[in-house]
Structure 1
Amino acid sequence: MNQRQPGPDHRPSSPRRGKDGDGAERHEAIYRSISDAIIEHRLKPGARLREDALAEVFGVSRTGIRKILQRLALEQLVTLTPRRGASVTRPTADEARDVFDARQMIECGLMPEVAERITPDDAASLRSLSAREQQVLQEGDHSAGIRLSAEFHSRLARLSGNTTLADVVDRLCFRSSLILAVYGDPRHLGCESHDHGALIDHLEAGQGDRAAALMCRHLDAVEATLSLVEDEDEAPDLQSIFYRVTP
């Protein structure tokens, strides 16, 4: 069970270090902790991820951390640079445009198929997810809102039945979260309008073409909020970002 440490005064002075065989389940939990921190912007693009510091935070070996960082690099959430090590991927402005162009081509194109396949249970699940997204945004939790928005788009793509394209959308949504962290306007992060609800309405009604048109306008609106101004890299306080995953 994950336990969040109550504060810096309660952190263990010498966390237990694991061995090379820390265990697949433990590695999976650490992988999810790091990837969630990236997606939710607790770890910002450009932030350095030192193997020794992460090993100390999670109480596992550097070898185990290295494997997890390599997995994150394959998913383009982390960049591995010789002599510099790992850092959270920082998309360039050109990459940002490419990602939204790709999302336009794929997600809009999938809407007619989703409209044919969506069930009442699917629509109800999507409405629940959209409601949670709007709630956290109203509460000012923009990081959680972006994560839920990405989940909404990923789940919608998966309803098309095209697993290959849905996997691509998953990766593009991850990249979009990073792009919003770098270039997004804090006042307009993610899908703050009620477009998601309208999308579900069109899909439930079997209006694939209208859903496709709305998806295109929706992605255009999100991209229009981006400001292509980059910040300097920063060194994150890993102890304050992560809680240890108990063995």
Structure 2
Amino acid sequence: MNACAPTQQPASAGESKASIKSIYPQIFDAILEQRLAPGTPLTEEALAQIFGVSRTIIRGVLARLSHQQVILQRPNHKAQVAAPDSEQTAQILYARRLAETTLISLAAQRAKPAHIRQLRELIANEREHHEQGQRCAAIRLGGEFHLQLANLAGNAPLAHFLNGLLPLTSLIIAQYEEHPCSHCAWQEHAAIVDAIEGHDAQSALHLMHQHLDRIEAKLVTRRVAVAGDVLKIFSA
């Protein structure tokens, strides 16, 4: 071992958590934008160099993305960006619908003014990114809106189940949505919140079904971008 080689100090728990929180959306958005295309290998060494952090922090980011099935990690293989096929997509969307249509009714019953404010703040952020042309960031924020709805419902197992589906759904939308600018999801989210604020579970459920129907109708299976070089992607 070279005694003169620089040693990388492990990050403290607070630093690690903060770094993961800031790096995660950057990598996730790059995946949604297909700058990191399906099949792109993701190595701890390269990402640690790019972001100037320890491999431990990158390992935490990759673990989160792997848990969400946005990337694939297998023993003795480099992590790779996922590419759900048509059958996987159908199964994921069906499972999401089952969870969301149960949770939305519970959310309408439990909503408090503080919850409504949090949801409207998320929608405003989603709208801002959409209007600035940051489509994939808006997709990610839309997923966070749905997760916040799930947490509001007060059923932890169902919320946890949905949390495992939403990031992957965002990936599917980014990869396979046809005519992505033809409607604004934030407007549909706002209508759902209006119904929840009025504790109108039936209307909220109807709007959620319409929202999911529109998402599914716009998805088409097609060839997606090819893998690129991670260093070139982030340096650009």
TM-score by length of 1: 0.79
CA RMSD in angstroms comes to 2.8
Residue 155 of structure 2 corresponds to which residue in structure 1? 162
Q: Which amino acid aligns with 1:18?
A: Q
Matched, 1:24 2:43: no
Candidates 75, 92, 99, aligned match of 2:92: 99
Candidates 90, 115, 118, aligned match of 1:122: 115
Contact 2:104/2:204, CA 8 A, preserved across alignment: yes
More helix by share: 2
Residue 226 of structure 2 corresponds to which residue in structure 1? 233
- Relative to structure 1, the CA distance from residue 171 to residue 38 in structure 2 (aligned partners, 3 Å threshold; closer, same or farther) is farther
Contact 1:146/1:189, CA 8 A, preserved across alignment: no
Alignment length, in residue pairs? 227
What are the equivalent positions in structure 2 for 1:1-247 lying under 5 Å apart?
18-19=8-9, 21-40=10-29, 41-42=32-33, 43-60=36-53, 62=55, 65-66=58-59, 68-185=61-178, 187-188=180-181, 192=185, 194-238=187-231, 240-241=233-234
TM-superposed deviation, 1:136: 1.7
- Relative to structure 1, the CA distance from residue 59 to residue 130 in structure 2 (aligned partners, 3 Å threshold; closer, same or farther) is closer
TM-score by length of 2: 0.82
Q: Any unmatched runs of 5+ in structure 2?
A: 1-5
Q: Any unmatched runs of 5+ in structure 1?
A: 1-15
TM-superposed deviation, 1:111: 1.7
* 3-state SS, counterpart of residue 46 of structure 1: coil
| C-alpha distance after superposition, 1:156-182 (max 9, x if no partner) | 111111111112222211111111222
Q: Which amino acid aligns with 1:201?
A: D
Contact 2:101/2:205, CA 8 A, preserved across alignment: yes
Aligned partners of 2:55, 2:125: CA distance in 1, in Å? 37
